[in-house]
Amino acid sequence: MARSGGRASADAVRQRRRRLAELVAQRGTLSVEEIVAETGVSAMTAYRDIDALEEEGLLTRQQRGVVAATASRLSEVSAALRMEQHAAEKEEIAAAAAALVRPGSSVLVDDSTSALWTLRALAGVPLTVVTNSLLVARELSRTPTTRLLVTGGEYQPWAESLLGKTTLDMVAGVRADYCLLSASGISDDQCFHPYEDVAQVKRAMIASAEQPILLLDHTKFARRALHRFAALTDFAHVVVDSRTPAAEVEHLRAVGPSVTRATT
């Protein structure tokens, strides 16, 4: 059992490790020194916690003394928590992506929190939005300039979204000017998400949009997930944050889509 100034109870250890997993999910990566500073445990206890969370598949070691969230489990993080992950980067991306969307357009939006940030940046712009996200629906219900259509489907609490065949059928039945979505990870110029039912919705939205727009913060290039839903070449535009390395931006441009790197 881990020690932190005395013998901790099993519940306290679980709570501490859950908090550590949430911190890494929020920030993308953490060093052992940052973990010690944030949690108040010793370096030895921090390494024990890392070992335990790595065995559960919640963390992965990137390099000596640095850990990252495991993309294949990101879907288990609540939608509310995902809204706060990399908020500054998402705000940058949102401002850049909003400039690509014409007033009066129709937009497909999935449960990607980066897409919700973009809709916030488009506040006051007349749009028709089709979404399977209840977070998006609640946000836009207070926006008089937006015509809102919500898909049917089976409610998934962790994502606060609707998924399944009913969702796919409705998305397939529309033709939108744009879609806004993100990926959990990028690998070999392909886009991935941990869960197949979410990946299916993303595929359907890309197929039903004239100009699919992919929203990526810099952490996505270091992550992997299970289910492929698109190639980078399936997108008309890719928008990345200002911390994305120049080499990644140049590679994206070489692959084919139009790339916008947000500014601070």
* Cβ contacts of 63 within 8 Å, gap of 6 or more: none
Residue 129 CA, chain-centre distance (Å), reads 19
* Rg, the chain, Cα only: 19
Give the pLDDT band (50/70/90) at residue 67.
Answer: confident
Q: Produce one character per residue of 152-170: b if its CB has 16 or more CB atoms within 10 Å, e if not.
A: ebeebeebbbbbbeebbeb
Q: Look at residue 69 in the predicted model and tell me its pLDDT.
A: 65
Looking at per-residue pLDDT, the higher value among 80 and 49 belongs to 49
The confidence score (pLDDT) of residue 86 equals: 67
DSSP string covering 73-101: GGGGS-HHHHHHTTHHHHHHHHHHHHTTS
Q: What is the pLDDT of residue 8?
A: 58
Residue 81 banded pLDDT, cuts 50, 70, 90 = low
Min mean pLDDT across 40-54, 56-70, 76-90, 133-147 is at 76-90
Average model confidence (pLDDT) across the chain: 87
- Determine the average pLDDT of the residues in 188-216: 95
Q: What percent of the chain has pLDDT over 70?
A: 88
Ordered structural domains, the chain, with CATH: 10-69 (1.10.10.10), 79-261 (3.40.50.1360)
